[in-house]
Amino acid sequence: MIQSDKGGDPPDSKDKKDDKLSTKADFFGLKSSVLSSPHELLAPPSGLKCPSHLHLPFHPSPHLCPLPFVGISQILRLVLQQLNLFYSRDVNGVCLLYDLLHSPWLQALLKVSYDCLQEFKGKKLIPATPHAQALSYEVVKILRETPKSPEIQELRQILQAPHLKALLSAHDTVAQKDFEPLLPPLPDNIPESEEAMRIVCLVKNQQPLGATIKRHEMTGDILVARVIHGGLAERSGLLYAGDKLVEVNGVSVEGLDPEQVIHILAMSRGTIIFKVVPVSDPPVNSQKMVYVRAMTEYWPQEDPAIPCMDAGLPFQKGDILQIVDQNDALWWQARKISDLGTCAGLIPSNHLLKRKQREFWWSQPYQPHNHLKSTISISMEEEDDMKIDEKCVEADEETFESEELSEDKEEFVGHGQKFYIAGFRRSMRLCRRWSHLSQLRAKVCGASTCSSAAGAPYEEVVRYQRRPADKHRLVVLVGPSGVGVNELRRQLIELDPNRFQSAVPHTTRSKKNYEMDGREYHYVSKETFESLMYSHRMLEYGEYKGHLYGTSVDAVQAVLDEGKICVMDLEPQGIQVARTYELKPYVIFIKPSSMSCMKQSRKNAKIITNYFVDMKFKDEDLQEMEDLAQKMETQFGQFFDHVIVNDSLQDACAQLLSAVQKAQEEPQWVPATWVSSDTES
């Protein structure tokens, strides 16, 4: 499709002249395909659609290749083999041909060839004879008449070998300047004022052409506004942003609106011929390909500012995008990595999206951030509820203590062998749920950084493959309370305690006589705990019954230093704190299954609460879990590397094991900063 572009040009100097361009928008649904022959450019011949013709321009033509071309011709032969393969498989072979010819290795090869030619051109070599082939025949004839000797025999064989014959034939072609195709001579008297025209021929099909047009406000010219990466126009290399459209199928576009041009194109059938005045300085996209993780979502259909809605690329939080063009300061071109074969689409640049986020933020009525009430902040009402809960616990202290004991017993069981799994203590889990996290964190990081509405909308990412000698990546499980995060974590560790381990949390409460420092908890003073908090060495922390509980970076590091995989559960707000180069966390979101499934599967499941020990799930609990999961996904989905729906516990556990293995052994997208720090160190 060619689409009308509303403008949105970068405000840089290169495009200043376009500031006055029209901002009308429309779309014309021209689907077009194979681009045949322009006159001026070194484009594929019009016979491209015929497989037999495909070979012609790519034979190692003798007059194009410098002498040591054995390697080159070999590679070109490979290219031809590939093309033949593609051709027999794919009707749309021309596109593949184009892709191949655009491949960097072929370009490099041609460049070498060209450089060699240039070198020889400078030397002005003159052939000793233009008829080396005839000469060799003559020599062979003479040799036949001379007395036989092994040397003469060998010379005859050499001269009659097909390779040498081909070489001599190539020599003669070059020597006689017998080049093809013959181009018509240029007329001598072209007036200087006359603009060079390019004729571009396109054949409509289901593929979009991938270009947008706009009208220049001052001159009224119809210009190609944007050529979309990966579209036919771009792959043809014949249409560039800035080209002036003169005629479409013989109809002059002078004085027409973009919409009228679009109408002509929409009405056209089969081949469409464009006459264009090429832009004097075609833009070159020399930027390297960048990959980013979308930290927000974008819907072009809801964005009235997009230059061309149909060319927009919608994306969701967490999508990995390949940015292919950043020439425009406002509108980039990108593809989703899940869909790299397609034409690119327009997305707002980092700068523009940030601006949009800020505008959106200010347009919203003020709301305290209580949408994840149970995990982030606690409203006044909840504060009161909590006090009541705490009172209940206080009143029931003995029972509570004995329950902690019984939980210990439970935790000592595994594979018929007694071993202790840290990080599952009831107090720690309850403190997470009832933590004063937001208040505590506010103390540490100050309102400005924590409440910043709009972080970077894109995060640059790279493929990271952990080397066997590297420490393992931290595995973080996130999910709404009761979904089974701890159950899955426990099952994973029990599966192979020599490989998987939890971090030992810290607490400011005093050690009980059956506990061991560094086993259940690291017992530290309030001052030590707070100093860890203030120096950002705590991944998570909270207060429960007047004591502080939390997991430190060092505790996680201790597990990783042992060569084990540290598996921890975190509240989603803690993910950002854990996302560091040293821990390289792999975040798995544990999601509840549907209500009806959970009603079945959670029949015998028990919730941990601060005063009921074996409380069964009620429908409201399941509903709350589902709601919270949705909110978590909406707010933190961009950080999730993997999602597991916890329906059947056995399946979920198998999925978890496989995901954890992949995280450690297969390449994953991680923030670019994690890897650049790697190379620095």
Ligand X SMILES: Nc1ncnc2c1ncn2[C@@H]1O[C@H](COP(=O)(O)OP(=O)(O)OP(=O)(O)O)[C@@H](O)[C@H]1O
Choose the binding region for ligand X from 154-162, 271-279, 535-543, 646-654 (rule: CB under 6 A). Answer: 646-654
Q: Rounded to whole angstroms, how far apart are CA atoms 249 and 252?
A: 8
Q: How far is the CB of 663 from ligand X (least distance, A)?
A: 20
* Stated length of the chain: 681
Cβ atoms < 10 Å from Cβ of 444:
16
Stretch that binds ligand X, among 5-13, 177-185, 249-257, 603-611 (CB under 6 A): 603-611
What is the nearest approach in angstroms of ligand X to the Cβ of residue 388?
19
For the bound state, the minimum distance from the C-beta of residue 588 to ligand X, rounded and expressed in Å, comes to 12
Pick the binder of ligand X from 608, 632, 663, 670 (CB under 6 A).
608
> Stretches 17-25, 225-233, 632-640, 645-653: which one binds ligand X (CB under 6 A)?
645-653
Q: Which span (6-14, 466-474, 599-607, 665-673) binds ligand X, by CB under 6 A?
A: 599-607
Residue 36 φ then ψ, to 5°: -95, -130
**Segment contacting ligand X (CB under 6 A): 191-199, 339-347, 462-470, 482-490?**
482-490
Note whether 376 binds ligand X by CB under 6 A: no
* 486 is a site residue for ligand X (CB under 6 A): yes
Nearer of residues 296 and 573 to ligand X, judged by Cβ:
573
Strand partners, 587: 476
Q: Are 585 and 473 spatial neighbours (Cβ–Cβ below 8 Å)?
A: yes
Question: Rounded to an integer, what distance in angstroms lies between the CA atom of residue 388 and that of residue 141?
Answer: 114
Using CB under 6 A as the binding rule, whether residue 487 contacts ligand X is answered as yes
Task: Go through 561-580 and write b for each residue having 16 or more CB atoms within 10 A of its CB, e for each that does not.
Answer: eeebbbbbbbbbbbbebbbb
Q: Does 588 bind ligand X (CB under 6 A)?
A: no
Query: Does residue 481 belong to the site contacting ligand X (CB under 6 A)?
Result: yes
**Residue span 80-119 as binding mask against ligand X, x where in contact by CB under 6 A, dash where not:** ----------------------------------------
> In terms of CB distance, is 481 or 638 closer to ligand X?
481
Query: Which of 208, 345, 484, 585: binder of ligand X (CB under 6 A)?
Result: 484
Q: Give the nearer residue to ligand X in terms of CB position, either 481 or 551.
A: 481
By Cβ distance, which residue is nearest to ligand X? 484
| Binding residue (CB under 6 A) for ligand X from 175, 262, 344, 485 | 485
Residues 112-171 that bind ligand X (CB under 6 A): none
CB 23 within 8 A of CB 7: yes
Q: Which residues within the stretch 222-261 sit at the binding site for ligand X (CB under 6 A)?
A: none
Q: Under the criterion CB under 6 A, does residue 375 sit at the interface with ligand X? A: no
Long-range (24+ apart) CB contacts under 8 A made by 62-67 are 62/166, 62/169, 62/170, 62/171, 62/173, 62/174, 63/170, 63/173, 63/174, 63/177, 63/178, 63/179, 64/113, 64/117, 65/113, 65/170, 66/113, 66/116, 66/117, 66/119, 66/120
482 contributes a contact to ligand X by CB under 6 A: yes
Q: Report the 10 Å Cβ neighbour count for 645.
A: 17
Closer by beta carbon to ligand X, 486 or else 502: 486
Token pair for residue 399?
A: 């029972």
**34 lines the binding site for ligand X (CB under 6 A):** no
Min dist CB 321 to ligand X, Å, is: 32
- Give the span between the Cα atoms of 681 and 672, in whole angstroms: 15
| Interface with ligand X, residue 210, by CB under 6 A | no
652/605 Cα distance (integer angstroms): 15
Decide: is 652 part of the binding site for ligand X (CB under 6 A). Answer: yes
Nearer to ligand X by Cβ, of 241 and 629: the residue is: 629
Task: Name the minimum Å distance from CB 590 to ligand X.
Answer: 7
Report if residue 601 touches ligand X, rule: CB under 6 A: yes
DSSP labels for 112-181?
HHHHHHHHHHHHT---S-S-HHHHHHHHHHHHHHSPP-HHHHHHHHHHHSHHHHHHHHHHHHHHTT--SS
Between 93 and 484, whose beta carbon lies closer to ligand X?
484
Out of 279, 450, 645, 649, point to the residue binding ligand X (CB under 6 A): 649
For residues 325 and 5, is the Cβ–Cβ distance under 8 A?
Answer: no
At residue 680, φ and ψ (nearest 5 deg) are -65, -40
Nearest-angstrom CA–CA distance, 483 and 624:
11
Segment 291 to 310, residues that bind ligand X, using CB under 6 A: none
Q: Which is nearer to ligand X, 194 or 614 (CB)?
A: 614
Helices 162-175 and 132-145: crossing angle, nearest 10°?
140
Give strand pairing partners of 495.
none
Least Cα distance to 437 among 524, 549, 527 occurs for 549
Candidates 96, 166, 197, 605: give the one binding ligand X (CB under 6 A).
605
SS3 621: helix
Binding site for ligand X (CB under 6 A): 429, 433, 479, 481-487, 601-602, 605-608, 646, 649, 652
